[in-house]
Every structure is written in structure tokens, then in C-alpha cells.
Amino acid sequence: MAPNDPKQSGGFFASIASSISNFGSAMTKSVNGLMGYEGLEVVNPEGGTEDAEEEARRGRWKQEDRDSYWKMMQKYIGSDVTSMVTLPVLIFEPMSMLQKMAELMEYSYLLDLADECEDPYMRLVYTTSWAISVYYAYQRTWKPFNPILGETYEMVNHGGITFIAEQVSHHPPMSAGHAENEHFIYDISSKVKTKFLGNSIDIYPLGRTRVTLKRDGTVFDLVPPPTKVNNLIFGRTWVDSPGEMIMTNLTTGDKA
């Protein structure tokens, strides 16, 4: 039954339409304010797009924190974040980059197998598998703290390994690490270049990683792929490494 007062009817439906319009404008303003630059889309790690709104609500940031952080960070779009003075502690995990470097030793028994192996191609398989193994840690999407200049981290007797790392440069941040057991010697100089894209950050490795097998002195060189941290501010954060990882046997010239 139609209402008797057309003004009342118009006012009722107009208020609904106005509310929907205001809500839509607010959502558009909020989303477009963050998505107005390259790299600011909300991405579903599983590949779907139907739940992008739900993904947006699962971010680590509260709305007021996100807006405040965005106002502070938008001027850094396209820049190397290693040049920034401060970053909010909310994005950090309670460990340093030196400790993070040591995680590559978790499956170091693969290097032991490579040293014991006679087949040069299986050696390449074992060393490459060892290099890939560190990506299990990428399920943790938090950033480690930057060590202070001269800070060291030592891990002793992990499967017979002694590992030590030191922060050798503060700006730009650079770390050096060394590990050794009866089968191999591992050396790394860790340096990265970054590009901040607003809701994501690209990380390009510039350091050098070398593994020497002790039995016959075979040397392997590792070039890791770039890494991309997605949904840094807006949405559920996840990490991907697009591109190639290249492991080269410098003694034979073989590559994987």
C-alpha cells in the first residue's frame, strides 16, 4: 500500500539513497586515496578478486593508523626505503636482520650431502635446494630490525655449524656473514636496494653469496631473485619472489 504523503515517501527513500551514496563516496575516497598510485591495489594471494573487500579488512592496520601512516609515507613513493629515517614499529618482528640471515642454515645438511656427493649435477641439485629452503620463512611477513653498526650475532653448534654475522655498514645497511663446518664454508655480504610503491615494496638483492665445498674446493655462487612485499598497508600482507634464482658452479660453469 503506497504511503499517503509523497514527501514522506520521497524523504524515506531519499535518505536511504543518500546514506548509500555517502557510504559509497566514503569507501571510494578511502580506497582511491590509497590506490591512486601504482602498486596500491589490494591483492588476494590465492589469486581471486571476489573477496578483495574482505582482504582489505584483514590488514594489520587500523583505519586511523593506516590513514596516518599513508600521509607520512606517500612522499616516499618510488624511493629507496633504506634512506628513510624511521619506520613504524608495527611492521617489525622481534629479531634483527643478522638473525634472519642465520635462518639459511636451517637445512644446511643439504650442503653436507653436496660435499659428500660425487655427481656434479646432484651437487648442484643439493646446493640449489638448500638455497630455496630459506623461503619457508616468508610466511612471516614482518620486517626484521636493522642492526646497529658493529652489532654481531653468533650461532654455535647448530648441526656442527658455527655461524657469525656482523653489521658492517649503517647507511646503506650492509651485513656480512660466515658459516663453517667440516663440509663447507659459507660467506655472504648482504645488501639490498628497495623501491617503495605505496602498498608494496620491491627488494633487489645486491650482495654476494658463496659456498665452498671442502672436499675438493668446488665453489658455488648464488644470485637470489628480487622480492616483493604486497599489501604493506592495505590488505593482508604476503611476500612473493618473482624472477629467477641462479646457482652457478664456478668450478665447472654449470648453472641451475
pLDDT at 38: 44
Query: CB within 8 A of 207, min separation 6: which ones?
Result: 174, 188, 189, 190, 191, 192
Tell me how far apart the alpha carbons of residues 59 and 148 are, in angstroms, rounded to a whole number.
29
**Dihedrals φ, ψ of 41, to 5°?**
-75, 155
**Torsion of Cα atoms, 60 then 61 then 63 then 67, to 10°:** -150
Tell me how far apart the alpha carbons of residues 114 and 122 are, in angstroms, rounded to a whole number.
7
- In tens, the pLDDT along 89-102 reads 777 889 999 999 99
pLDDT at 56: 56
pLDDT at 130: 95
**Which range has the worst mean pLDDT, 63-72, 89-98, 198-207, 215-224?**
63-72
Residue 7: band (very low, low, confident or very high) from pLDDT cuts 50, 70, 90: very low
Residue 85: band (very low, low, confident or very high) from pLDDT cuts 50, 70, 90: low
Q: Mean pLDDT score of the chain, rounded to an integer?
A: 79
What average pLDDT score do residues 173-189 get?
Answer: 95
Residue 40 has pLDDT above 90, yes or no: no
**Which range has the worst mean pLDDT, 1-15, 93-107, 110-124, 235-249?**
1-15
- In tens, the pLDDT along 163-172 reads 999 999 988 8
pLDDT at 61: 62
- In tens, the pLDDT along 223-249 reads 999 999 888 777 778 888 888 999 999
Tell me how far apart the alpha carbons of residues 118 and 98 are, in angstroms, rounded to a whole number.
33
Tell me how far apart the alpha carbons of residues 127 and 45 are, in angstroms, rounded to a whole number.
29
> Is the four-CA dihedral 123, 124, 125, 128 of positive or negative sign?
positive
pLDDT at 170: 85
At residue 147, the 3 state secondary structure works out as: coil
Residue 109 has pLDDT above 50, yes or no: yes
pLDDT at 237: 82
Question: Which domains are delineated in the chain?
Answer: 60-249 (2.40.160)
Prediction pTM value: 0.72
pLDDT at 35: 42
